[in-house]
Amino acid sequence: MPYSVAKRLGFTKFKPTKISLVFADRSTKLPVGVIEDLHVRIRDTLIPADFVVLDLDEEPKDPLILGRAFLCTARAIIDVEEDIVDLRLGDMLVWFEMNKLLKKPMIDGQTFVIHDGSDVSEDVVEEILANDPLEVALTKPEGEHGFLSEDTH
């Protein structure tokens, strides 16, 4: 969540964190902090979620990115073939048609990865960033499955 959005929502104190955000261009930023257990409303249901607060130069058009923990809590089902994301909250179902959503503007083409650096040394982070996973997967010789398991062929 951008700092400007958190500020507009009335948040001024954030839990400190050791997380660093790695952007698609491989640049990194340290967040201002974390807001824990902020309730996200989906229709009539509230789901607690944690948000990483980042001080950005420009406020993005889409200020929130939902992570795996939130998607798990919301019992998300992602159907790639049909381009639909279902969120199941009790007996309520909310769905998003991705083919329609993807036609709307993105966040200036930026992609974010959240990495909690508390359990990984700097050497490991540099090694991970040095080997682009997509490049490794696409350039491995046949017979070496890279990131694919044998049964996916």
| Each residue's pLDDT tens digit, 19-56 | 888 776 777 888 999 998 888 776 677 778 888 888 87
| pLDDT at residue 135, as a whole number | 58
* Structure tokens given for 13: 């104190």
Q: Which CATH number fits domain 3-119: 3.40.50, 2.30.30, 3.30.1380, 2.40.70?
A: 2.40.70
Under 8 Å between Cβ of 32 and 14: yes
| pLDDT at residue 86, as a whole number | 79
| Each residue's pLDDT tens digit, 77-132 | 777 788 787 777 667 777 777 777 655 555 545 444 444 445 555 555 565 555 55
Q: What is the mean pLDDT of residues 70-78?
A: 71
Backbone angles phi, psi at 92, to 5 degrees: -100, 140
Is 90 exceeded by the pLDDT of residue 3? Answer: no
Q: How far, in Å, are 67, 94, 139 from residue 90 at the CA level?
A: 20, 11, 44
| pLDDT at residue 102, as a whole number | 56
| pLDDT at residue 152, as a whole number | 44
What residues does each domain of the chain span?
3-119, 121-153
| pLDDT at residue 60, as a whole number | 56
Sorting pLDDT into bands at 50, 70 and 90, what band is 15? very high
| pLDDT at residue 14, as a whole number | 93
| pLDDT at residue 114, as a whole number | 45
Is 70 exceeded by the pLDDT of residue 145? Answer: no
